[in-house]
Amino acid sequence: MKRFLSANDVLESIQFKDGTDNNLDSVHYLLTMVAIDMAAWFLSKGKVMTITDLISTLSEDVDLNRDSDAHRTKRGMDVRSSELREEEQYQFLEHFNDKYKDIASVSRSDNKARLVVLHGKGVNKHFHVALNFIYGDR
Ligand SMILES: [Zn+2]
């Protein structure tokens, strides 16, 4: 028996919310790489990662009041945060924001590179993950 997880093992663990385009093949490869790394992090906590939103259209972004084109340009995804305890959510943010700062989206508010942020309130709360705009499909 092998003593580690392969990329495929981890990929197969990723769940998608109903109705979400579940095709990671059509996003930037760095986003797929990040998704695998994040899903492995969830597995290390005994949990399964769920992607709740991936690629969007302009009209969906307008409806959702999104000011970023990360989903539209295939460099962004949303991940369910409620699987994690609050303390784990902060560990997740700290770990991935540090690890991927070189490829992360830069926040317009403070000019800091941040791969993942907690977005929304209550049941809409989720991790929004975005690569730098240079990786966008435009
Ligand atoms: Zn998002």
Q: 98 C-alpha to center of ligand 1: Å?
A: 19
Domain contains 29: yes
Domain contains 2: no
Residues 42-61 pLDDT 10s: 999 999 999 999 998 889 88
Q: 82 C-alpha to center of ligand 1: Å?
A: 15
Total number of domains in the chain: 1
Instruction: Return d(Cα 39, Cα 51) in angstroms, integer.
Output: 10
Q: 21 C-alpha to center of ligand 1: Å?
A: 14
Q: 22 C-alpha to center of ligand 1: Å?
A: 15
pLDDT at 74: 95
Residue 75, C-beta contacts closer than 8 angstroms, at least 6 positions apart: 27, 28, 30, 31, 105, 130, 131, 132, 133, 135, 136, 137
pLDDT at 48: 97
Q: 57 C-alpha to center of ligand 1: Å?
A: 12
Residues 64-93 pLDDT 10s: 888 889 999 999 999 999 999 999 999 999
pLDDT at 1: 66
Q: Name the residue range of residue 44's domain.
A: 7-135
Domain contains 1: no
> Is this model's pTM higher than 0.85 or not?
yes
Query: 63: how many CB neighbours lie within 10 A of its CB?
Result: 10
Domain contains 106: yes
